[in-house]
Amino acid sequence: MLSNIRIVLVQTYHPGNIGSAARAMKTMGLTDLVLVNPRAFPDEEASRLAAGALDVIEGARVVERLEDAIGDCVRVVGASARLRSLPLPHYDEPDKLAKDLVEDARSSPVAMVFGRERYGLTNDEIRLCSHQVSIPANPDYGILNLSQAVQVLSYEVRRAWRKHAGESTAGAGSIATPPTREQVGHFQSHLSRVMQRSGFITQPHAKTEEQLQALFARATPSRKELSLLRGWLSSLESHLPSDGNR
């Protein structure tokens, strides 16, 4: 189950932080590390700071875009020190987040995403996540070093796993399978396309679009419900004049 919990580091600048993050992961039993476009990797400093977690570093996957790191995940939580204005569901308490991650990870991959040392995650990257989390640190100075943020949240995951691992999964079969981020992404693009083609919104990334996407994120539709919504969008789309006639 812990092997289904992925740590994603976006465009890490200092390779030492990658090593320290790998060590933080391994101490908590996590092994799946994905690096999005790191500045320098593989790197001696990363290996040095990984210490006994060289296997995590050696097994790390490097991808170009965040989408490629999380497409197969059913819950993706972006870690941010500061709250942005994005209306995504937000975990104020990491233990609640950890419980949900462990629950989903019984059957599907999930991820926690960490940003760059200098400016964290961009709004576009956060938009690819299903949730956000902030570690409730000192309000006067609450920005943790990247690998320490990985440590704190990995520890929460381990605690939740120890606490809930023995719990029966009876009834889990009846819980509808959540969609992957890739499926949610297809739905969001479809929704945006129909809203634009119908003239409901006139420009991409409009606030309305963001608010509706947040509404669907809060509703946490199942895979089945999402495909129902896509069917509905397709049928609406078939009644719209084709682009060439507008």
- Give the binding site for ligand SAH (CB under 6 A): 79-82, 114-115, 117-121, 134-135, 137, 142-144, 146, 149
Taking each helix axis from N to C end, the angle separating 146-164 and 94-104, rounded to the nearest 10 degrees, works out to 60
Long-range CB pairs of 138-142 (<8 Å, 24+ gap) are: 142/81
- Nearest-CA neighbor of 67 among 22, 103, 113, 98? 113
Q: How near is the Cβ of 8 to ligand SAH at its closest, in Å? A: 10
- Comparing CB distances to ligand SAH, the nearer of 111 and 226 is 111
Q: Which of 5/195 has CB closer to ligand SAH?
A: 5
Residue 202 CB, shortest distance to ligand SAH, in Å, is 32
The answer to whether 91 and 131 have CB atoms below 8 angstroms apart is: yes
Q: How far is the CB of 180 from ligand SAH (least distance, A)?
A: 22
Q: Which is nearer to ligand SAH, 152 or 206 (CB)?
A: 152
Tabulate helix, strand, coil % of the chain (nearest 5): 50, 15, 35
Calpha distance 117→120 (Å, rounded): 6
As measured in angstroms, the least distance from the Cβ of 38 to ligand SAH is 13
Nearer to ligand SAH, 133 or 226 (CB): 133
Biggest distance spanned by C-alpha atoms of the chain: 63
Q: Per DSSP, what are the bridge partners of residue 8?
A: 34, 113
CB of 46 to ligand SAH, least distance (A): 16
